Amino acid sequence: MIKVAVPNKGMLSEPAMDLLRACGYKANKPTKTLSSIDTVNGIEFYFLRPGDIPMYVGKGIIDAGITGIDFCAEVSSPAVKVLDLPFGASKLCAAVPEQSTYKKLEELKNLRIATSFPSIVRNYFKNPNMELVVLEGAVEISVGLGVADAVVDVVETGTTLKQAGLRILGEPLFRSNAAFFAHPARKDCSEIATLARRIEGKLVAKDYKMVEYDVPAELLEKACAITPGLESPTIAPLRNKSWCSVKAMVKSEEANLIMDKLQDLGCKGILLFNIESARV
């Protein structure tokens, strides 16, 4: 049985659990304990702080986990990224008082900066001796309380910083998203490989749809050029031998345009289906 860590709170928690459940795992967060067991799939899930997961996975205490790339970068975790995940996108930005005259990030390297990511900040400014105020949260209030001159914090919309009288300065110091990580010595074990395949299958299913349609035989090659599929489309003869049935995977973002093209070509019975999961 392998151990897998899942964020217990924050913007990564629900999407991570939804993804695992969609992959067939019983990832239900208990009310009084920090772990639950999925006996069918042989996994014990641990619900931990997102910032602690890189340490547990990096040391091999837990085999794998879902957390933000920024949390792994902050502690220089040896955990190996197996898959990027399509949620938890964020950016680490510097912010200064609205009325300040600062125009460039370089101007901040000698100021007192409040942040929850001191290692990333020091690495960015390449100043190991810069004065940092390390906080667990509510970083934006530090300037108003007089303990810092600027902040570096995770930004989604920027509304919280603006309400605190701050403005974002320059480009993000670091961009992040959620990812599936594994301990280097465990990343190739069968249970983790299966979990990774299931997750990847759901991600593929999100990116693709299945289109099915009937096409006159004389237009088959033109239709297949519109829907080439991954390897090639599936083609089946119909009772009316002057027509064929075609099925192919298409990119979700292009699906409706493809349906328009097929209809303009002369295809009939054009159907579009969601894909629950896939292996490609």
* Domains in the chain: boundaries: 2-88+177-188, 90-175, 208-274
Nearest to 65 by CA among 178, 175, 177: 178
For the domain spanning 90-175, the CATH number is 3.40.190.10
Whole-angstrom Cα distance, residue 202 to residue 277? 5
Q: What integer pLDDT is reported at residue 271 of this predicted model?
A: 98
CATH 3.30.70.120 fits 208-274, yes or no: yes
pLDDT of residue 12: 94
Q: List, for residues 12-22, the tens digit of each pLDDT value.
A: 999 999 999 99
pTM, entire model: 0.85
Give bridge partners of residue 210 from the DSSP assignment. Answer: 249, 273
Q: Tell me whether residue 1 is exposed, middle or buried, using C-beta atoms within 10 angstroms of its C-beta: 0 to 12, 13 to 18, 19 or more.
A: exposed
CB 63 within 8 A of CB 5: no
Top CATH class of 2-88+177-188 equals: alpha beta
> Which residue in 114, 112, 116, 96 sits closest to 104, CA to CA?
96
- How confident is the model at residue 143, as a pLDDT? 93
Q: What are the residues facing 246 on neighbouring strands? A: 213, 235
Residue pair 229/213 in contact by the 8 Å Cβ criterion: no
CA nearest 46: which of 60, 59, 64?
64
Whether 2-88+177-188 and 208-274 share one fold: the answer is no
pLDDT of residue 233: 96
* CA neighbours closer than 13 Å in the CB half-sphere of residue 229: 14
pLDDT value for 194 = 94
Low-confidence ranges of the chain (pLDDT < 70): none
